């Protein structure tokens, strides 16, 4: 803990010194150092651009430029805390390589163009594809980093205007299994608890979550809770000894991909030792399994019988975790109140939905839910995967605010609100992310718009998908990319449109605890860059003019993000997400509001499904006057009962074998974020981690004859990378770990990862694939 805390402190100190210089970045000369205490210094509240924690920040403005960032002490949940990456944002937006001019590929090279040239070309190519090959020949690939209004607008245009459900986004790669888990257990998506639960918890169960590096402000709050109360316990379940292990009271290190047996074994202990909440289980839950003809109900006795195959001793054989540790974890968890946090270690798995279900099972069995300090909580990796993609329905199978494309009534509701001709929204889900890019490679998708994301770097088994986007061939699909920086995806594009960056446009982020927050525009975009919202409006109008979208479908209704926001509020009315009370003016004034928030006077909801806290239980279609104060009702399910699932404990898609004997897992480090497009622009962050590395256990390094600093060739059935070795006992024996931030050819680790995906959530298994290693 001391080492990791020191890393954070050093980064923050460097940032304080560096962001002042941001005022002159890109001008080719050192700027005068502004006096940040001067009377003309202006501070404006906003939100961090990075992970889904949603930290409140204050932006320092000086002479029309963004020069500093600090934590917002008045923010109700993050209370002035920020991570090191956030402090460098003012410097990052003034990076010298910002995209500032539209570009069109001519004779194989991207060359500058006017906006009209670029937009006409984009509209013409999409129009040709739609007319010649039908609506499903085009696709949209968005991002959990786009503003909510941008994602909603794109979703509306493609599903209700063009008439295709080929609408996807990078949250499919990170959060889809969490969605599947919440929906299949509770009826609707998103956590029911909030960050305030951290202060009330007596137990933290951290599973597959490197909270210290990926959500450092959450980790800081866990540290504060533990320091304030010496009785607080932390259980860690992770095959890699991430920095969070430093606070663990109990550490469980499973064989990667074989932890489902541990969750079942914990449930078996909880029931065997009578640690479950029998009254809650009887009144508020139902048991289900998937049979030959679909979901089937099971009684409590049937569930107990199922768990006989998962005693701690049996689970120990499957998972590699000692039986005594499984028993200890179950006992600590059951005492509670318990907050569970997890992220990619569970979600990016072939069995990701099932893993999420089993986390929820533990909370339901013990009644550790709907009370202060008791909640299952999936942390989010992007700032707007929740509010911007999951909630707005901007994936191929869903529609806004809990609706699904398969349900006729849901399609009818959205067609009426959107003004789409009846039958425009197709009843069949579109292509999920992996299948969309496979279809691109088969030239079945003829035109794709990619917004604020970098699939040429971030997709698993990325080589064939890079070829699908960039390889020259007859009838090559047309690729247009909206971004603020050059990436491994813009290099493949036919048209690149320069997008305004965070702080150069206004919009809303929705973060992990259901809090919607507005980010104001405080500076002008660089060069000719435009907000993504404006680019989408322009695109829609040109499609209307070409008569592939009904005339006026977008252009007659919307001019500003607020126009879209007001329709979004209406779309949420009388749904479990109801935020009709979040008027734009309120969000400008307040530091975010948590939904449900159905009235302008409502303060927002800390805990869903709880009588006396959730306003939807007091009035509207989900009201229930039979409930006592504090009682839980899972009203998003028809029977108002949450599901405890009986799931098989199956392993990964690609287990190790004699030819590929090592497991590769990927992830992040403290100083960088995702594909490094932003963080690598700050030289202080780049110096902290200037190149990729592979963590190898000392025992494996000895077998391989590899030392610290040696370059190691990592080979899978799909591709290879060559990366410098870091010998450490962080990964368990037989496991390796590589962060995925680096774009250099030898370091592009997603050439190695596997694109097998969860059959329910369609989320790929980034966390586990089989590789062989050799000293390069």
Residues designated as active site? 85, 174-175, 344, 381-382
Q: Are the CB atoms for 582 and 593 separated by under 8 Å?
A: yes
- Buried b / exposed e along 265-298 (16+ C-beta atoms within 10 A): bbbbbbbbeebbbeebbeebbbbbeeeeeeeeeb
Least Cα distance to 703 among 760, 643, 775, 770 occurs for 775
Q: What is the edge-to-edge ordering of all strands in the sheet holding 203-207?
A: 250-252, 233-237, 203-207, 338-342, 375-378
Stretch (H or E) spanning 378: strand 375-378
d(CA 187, CA 643): 9
d(CA 638, CA 734): 46
Q: Are the CB atoms for 771 and 660 separated by under 8 Å?
A: yes
Q: Are the CB atoms for 276 and 270 separated by under 8 Å?
A: yes
Token reading at 119: 């937009």
Q: Decide the pairing of beta strands 56-62 and 65-71.
A: antiparallel
Q: Are the CB atoms for 288 and 296 separated by under 8 Å?
A: yes
Alpha helices for 257-351 (secondary structure H): 260-272, 278-284, 300-307, 312-319, 323-335, 344-347
SS3 label, residue 517: strand
Alpha helices for 320-453 (secondary structure H): 323-335, 344-347, 352-366, 408-418, 433-441
Instruction: Determine if the peptide bond prior to 45 is cis (ω within 30°).
Output: no
d(CA 558, CA 562): 9
| Residues in CB range of 346: below 8 A, 6 or more apart | 177, 178, 207, 208, 352, 355, 356, 359, 378
d(CA 73, CA 627): 37
SS3 label, residue 683: helix
Least Cα distance to 713 among 733, 732, 738 occurs for 738
Q: How many CA atoms lie within 13 A of 129 on its CB side?
A: 27
Least Cα distance to 363 among 176, 231, 186 occurs for 186
d(CA 503, CA 581): 25
Phi first, then psi, for residue 775 (nearest 5°) are -65, 125
Alpha helices for 696-737 (secondary structure H): 698-704
Q: Are the CB atoms for 360 and 642 separated by under 8 Å?
A: yes
- Say how many residues make up the chain: 776
Neighbours of 728 (CB within 10 A): 16
Token reading at 348: 């990016």
Q: Decide the pairing of beta strands 769-775 and 711-715.
A: antiparallel
d(CA 534, CA 538): 6
d(CA 387, CA 604): 15
d(CA 238, CA 259): 9
Q: Are the CB atoms for 93 and 66 separated by under 8 Å?
A: yes
d(CA 247, CA 30): 43
For 301, which DSSP code? H
d(CA 197, CA 219): 13
């Amino acid at each position: 803990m001391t080492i990791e805390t020191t890393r954070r402190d050093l980064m923050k100190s460097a940032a304080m010194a560096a962001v002042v210089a941001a005022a002159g970045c890109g001008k080719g000369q050192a700027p005068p150092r502004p006096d940040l205490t001067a009377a003309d210094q202006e501070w404006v509240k906003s939100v961090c651009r990075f992970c889904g924690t949603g930290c409140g920040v204050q932006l320092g403005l000086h002479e029309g430029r963004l020069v500093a960032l600090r934590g917002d002490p008045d923010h109700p949940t993050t209370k002035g805390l920020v991570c090191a990456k956030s402090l460098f944002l003012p410097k990052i937006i003034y990076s010298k390589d910002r995209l500032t001019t539209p570009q069109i590929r001519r004779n194989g090279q991207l060359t500058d163009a006017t906006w009209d040239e670029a937009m006409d070309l984009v509209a013409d190519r999409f129009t040709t594809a739609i007319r010649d090959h039908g609506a499903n020949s085009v696709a949209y690939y968005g991002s959990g980093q786009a503003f909510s209004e941008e994602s909603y607008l794109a979703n509306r245009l493609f599903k209700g205007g063009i008439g295709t459900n080929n609408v996807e986004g990078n949250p499919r790669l990170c959060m889809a299994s969490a969605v599947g888990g919440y929906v299949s257990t509770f009826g609707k998506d998103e956590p029911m608890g909030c960050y305030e639960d951290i202060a009330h918890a007596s137990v933290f169960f951290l599973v597959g979550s490197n909270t210290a590096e990926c959500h450092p402000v959450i980790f800081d709050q866990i540290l504060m809770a533990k320091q304030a109360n010496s009785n607080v316990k932390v259980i860690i379940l992770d095959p890699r000894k991430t920095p969070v292990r430093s606070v663990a009271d109990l550490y469980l290190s499973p064989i990667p991909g074989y932890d489902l047996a541990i969750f079942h074994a914990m449930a078996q202990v909880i029931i065997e030792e009578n640690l479950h909440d029998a009254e809650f289980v009887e009144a508020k839950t139902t048991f289900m399994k998937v049979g030959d003809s679909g979901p089937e109900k099971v009684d409590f006795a049937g569930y107990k019988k199922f768990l006989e195959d998962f005693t701690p001793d049996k689970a120990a054989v499957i998972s590699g975790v000692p039986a005594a540790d499984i028993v200890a974890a179950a006992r600590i968890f059951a005492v509670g109140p318990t907050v569970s946090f997890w992220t990619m270690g569970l979600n990016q798995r072939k069995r990701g939905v099932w893993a999420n279900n089993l986390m929820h099972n533990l909370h339901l069995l013990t009644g550790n839910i709907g009370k202060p300090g008791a909640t299952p909580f999936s942390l989010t990796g992007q700032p707007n995967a929740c509010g911007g993609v999951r909630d707005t329905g901007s994936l191929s199978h869903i529609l806004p605010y809990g609706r699904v494309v398969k349900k006729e009534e849901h399609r009818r509701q959205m067609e009426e609100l959107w003004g789409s001709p009846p039958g425009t929204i197709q009843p069949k889900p579109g292509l999920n992310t992996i299948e969309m890019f496979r279809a691109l490679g088969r030239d079945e998708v003829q035109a794709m718009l990619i917004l604020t994301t970098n699939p040429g770097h971030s997709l698993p088994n990325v080589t064939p998908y890079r070829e699908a986007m960039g390889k020259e061939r007859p009838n090559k699909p047309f690729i247009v990319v909206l971004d603020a920086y050059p990436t491994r995806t813009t290099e493949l594009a036919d048209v690149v449109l320069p997008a305004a960056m965070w702080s150069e446009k206004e919009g809303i982020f929705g973060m992990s605890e259901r809090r919607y927050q507005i980010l104001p525009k405080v500076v002008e975009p660089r060069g000719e860059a435009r907000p993504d919202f404006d680019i989408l409006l322009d695109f829609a109008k040109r499609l209307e003019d070409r008569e592939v979208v009904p005339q006026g479908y977008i252009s007659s209704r919307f001019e500003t993000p607020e126009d879209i926001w007001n329709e979004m509020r209406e779309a949420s009315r009388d749904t479990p997400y109801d935020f009709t009370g979040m008027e734009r003016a309120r969000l400008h004034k307040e530091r975010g509001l948590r939904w449900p928030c159905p009235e302008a006077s409502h303060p927002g909801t800390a805990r869903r499904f709880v009588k006396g806290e959730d306003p939807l239980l007091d009035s509207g279609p989900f009201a229930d006057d039979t409930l006592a104060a504090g009682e839980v009702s899972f009203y998003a399910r028809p029977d108002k009962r949450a599901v405890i699932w009986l799931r098989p404990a199956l392993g990964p898609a690609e287990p190790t074998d004699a030819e590929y004997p090592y497991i590769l897992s990927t992830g992040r480090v403290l100083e960088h974020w995702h594909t490094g497009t932003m963080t690598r622009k700050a030289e202080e962050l780049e110096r902290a981690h200037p190149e990729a590395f592979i963590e190898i256990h000392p025992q494996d390094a000895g077998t391989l004859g590899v030392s610290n600093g040696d370059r190691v060739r990592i080979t899978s059935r799909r591709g290879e990378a060559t990366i410098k070795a870091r010998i450490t006992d962080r990964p368990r024996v037989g496991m390796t770990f590589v962060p995925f931030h680096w774009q250099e050819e030898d370091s592009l680790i997603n050439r190695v990862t596997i694109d097998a995906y969860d059959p329910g959530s369609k989320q790929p298994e980034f966390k586990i694939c089989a590789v062989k290693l050799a000293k390069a």
